[in-house]
Amino acid sequence: MIITIEYYLILSAFMFLVGVTGVLINRNAIVVFMSIELMLNSANLTLVTFSSFLGNSIGQLFVFFVMTVAAAEAAVGLAIIIAIFRNKLTVNIDEINILKW
């Protein structure tokens, strides 16, 4: 069986949708954050796929930048989650509601 570009694109679109759904239905801040990482990784898969099938390297280059940014975002995000956990002893989004959401 020949694996064409559509398989990769459908897989990455599915991953993206799983990520979006995860952000919308999960209530735990850390799980929401994991779903966001899944969205970023689906974009990475798309970039690598196109890069490979188009035969140019821009997409692969982009992936490195996306991964670096995701790492920076994770560092800041987890620090924010820890800061709120120290004050409130919960990371459930529904209970974080002093400001009207």
Partner 1 sequence: MFNNYQEFWNLLPMIIIGAGIIISLIIEMYSKKSEVILPWFSILLFLAAGLHALFYIGDISIVLQNMLATGGNVNIFHAIFTLGAAVVTLLSIDYLKKYGIYFREYYIILQTSVLGMMLMAAAKDILVIFLGLELMSISFYILAGMNRKRLNANEASLKYFLLGAFATGFIVYGIALIYGAAHTTSIDFITSDFNLLSGNLLFVAGVLLFLIGFSFKIAAFPFHMWVPDVYEGAPTSVAALFSTGGKAAAFSAIIATLFALFNNGGQGNFFTPFLAVISVLSMFYGSIVAIAQDNIKRMLAYSSISHAGYLIIGLAAGNYDAVAGVIFYLAAYTFMNLGAFGMVALIEGKDETNLSINSYSGLGSKKPLLAALLALLMFSLAGIPPFAGFFGKYYIFIAAIKANLTWLAILGVISSAISVYFYIRIVVLMYFKTSDTEIGFEESNNYMLAIILSVLIVVLMGVFPGSFIDLVTKFI
Q: Give residues in contact with partner 1 (CB under 8 A).
A: 16, 19-20, 23, 29, 32-33, 36, 39-40, 42-44, 46-47, 49-50, 54, 56, 58-59, 61-62, 65-66, 69, 72-73, 76-77, 80-81, 83-84, 87-88, 93, 96, 98-101
Would you give the distance in Å from CA 41 to the centre of its chain?
6
Q: For the CB of residue 83, give the shortest distance to partner 1 in the complex, in Å.
A: 5
Q: For the CB of residue 25, give the shortest distance to partner 1 in the complex, in Å.
A: 13
Q: For the CB of residue 2, give the shortest distance to partner 1 in the complex, in Å.
A: 19
Q: For the CB of residue 4, give the shortest distance to partner 1 in the complex, in Å.
A: 14
End-to-end alpha-carbon separation of the chain, Å? 50
Length of the chain: 101
In whole angstroms, give the CA distance from residue 9 to residue 15: 10
> Hey, is 94 helix, strand or coil?
helix
> Hey, is 100 helix, strand or coil?
coil
Between 4 and 100, name the residue whose CB sits nearer to partner 1: 100
In whole angstroms, give the CA distance from residue 17 to residue 91: 24
Between 25 and 69, name the residue whose CB sits nearer to partner 1: 69
